[in-house]
Amino acid sequence: MSDNCRVSEALYVCLCGYIGTPTEVTVRRELMDIGEMLQKPVHVYKGQRMIFSGSSREGFRFKSSDCDMMFWITNHKVITDLSQSSVYDLSTHSIILMEDTDTPPGFVRLQLLTSPRGGVIESSVVPYNDGMYISCMRWRQKMFTMASGGKNFNNAKTHGPCANGFIGDKETDCALCIHCSYWSRLTCYWRKRCILHNWPQNHVFDDILRNGCHFVPIGLKIAGDENELDWRLSFSQAEQKLVYSMNHTQFLCYGLLKIFLKEVINLKIEEPFLCSYFVKTTVFWLIQIGNITWCPNNLLDCFWKCFKYLLQCVHRGVFPNFFVPQNNMFASKLSTVRGERTRKCLLEQLNRFQGTRDGNW
């Protein structure tokens, strides 16, 4: 057995102790699933839905593992074609038309076609091109006002499309989003790619499509400016199912990358260029199209191939979204001089790590 295999197996055992064994991770996920299931009838009765996401839902229990919650109101129904409006009862549902043409990749506009139902949507509508559209800025502000007024939600602040705060001692992101049962045509290539590479497996793929996607209230920010009519496509529910479908070597590699990002790359950096979402996306890409053997005695090689992918993305200044590859997730960061400077510093740092690796392995 090679030294790499021995080190990989030792690392696998160590990470099982630090991150969790397959059984421990499964139990954590099932507990989260049960909690969500128990709350579902109450939320449905109130005309809303809620799902957990984030590191805790995925099965991690780091001190820094966040707990994200996504809410949506069930009397808002999104369609992608006018013919779909016949499916819904117009006397009880607000009908919203999703528009994904003439928008940045990964973003849509939401046109309200019927009278608004509920104060949130009514206060968020703005006129545009002879139509009424939902403003992500107004929606986000309304969400923040509601969250900060909650008795158990402390130290509230805006964090991207979410209201960030603490429930007890647990940092939590809450997003009031809009659910869509239909997938945007922007994801057509992703669906073809999944079939071509046979990942995720068919039952996971079908489950993802059945659950639809979400829109979160934030537009593409270029040089600090944001279009208030653009909403970002969110695939949090799909991502959770993809993480659940990983084998344990893949999950531990994902966890190791998160640790490396937090404790090495981003250590003592106030505004880091990379976040854990880039790590998760990297693992998705490498599982689907990468030529990697995901097993315990190859864990080290899996890690370095993921690292090399991150390095190449930073070098090119392009990081494609897993679901909508046309969406370069580095675009907003690189739209400022400060962002470009941060990228160059990060690139030098990553190249040093790569050089150290080449010298030792």
Per-residue HEC secondary structure of 304-330 comes to HHHHHHHHHHHHHCCCECCCCCCCECC
For 50-89, b/e burial (b = at least 16 CB within 10 A) is bbbbbbbbbbbeeeebbbbbbbbbeebbbbbeeeebeeee
Q: Is 179 left (phi over 0), alpha (psi -120 to 50) or beta?
A: beta
CATH 1.10.1410.40 residue ranges in the chain? Answer: 1-22+246-361
The predicted structure's pLDDT at residue 361: 43
The class that CATH gives domain 1-22+246-361 is mainly alpha
CATH 3.30.460.90 residue ranges in the chain? Answer: 47-185+192-235
pLDDT tens, per residue, the chain with 361 residues = 678 899 999 999 999 999 999 999 999 999 999 999 999 999 989 989 999 888 999 999 988 777 788 999 988 899 999 888 888 888 888 999 999 988 999 999 999 998 887 778 889 999 999 899 999 999 999 888 888 777 778 888 888 888 888 887 778 889 999 999 999 888 999 999 999 999 999 999 999 999 999 999 999 887 667 889 999 999 999 999 999 999 999 999 999 999 999 999 999 888 899 999 999 999 999 999 888 999 999 999 999 999 999 999 999 999 999 999 999 999 988 988 898 999 999 999 999 988 666 555 4
> For the chain, what's the residue count?
361
The class that CATH gives domain 47-185+192-235 is alpha beta
| Alpha-carbon span 217 to 161, nearest angstrom | 5
The predicted structure's pLDDT at residue 168: 79
Nearest by Cα to 304 from 350, 246, 247, 251:
350
Tell me, yes or no, if the pTM score tops 0.75: yes
The predicted structure's pLDDT at residue 310: 96
| Alpha-carbon span 161 to 215, nearest angstrom | 10
Question: Tokens 């959770």 appear where?
Answer: 240
| Alpha-carbon span 181 to 166, nearest angstrom | 31
Cβ count within 10 A of residue 140: 24
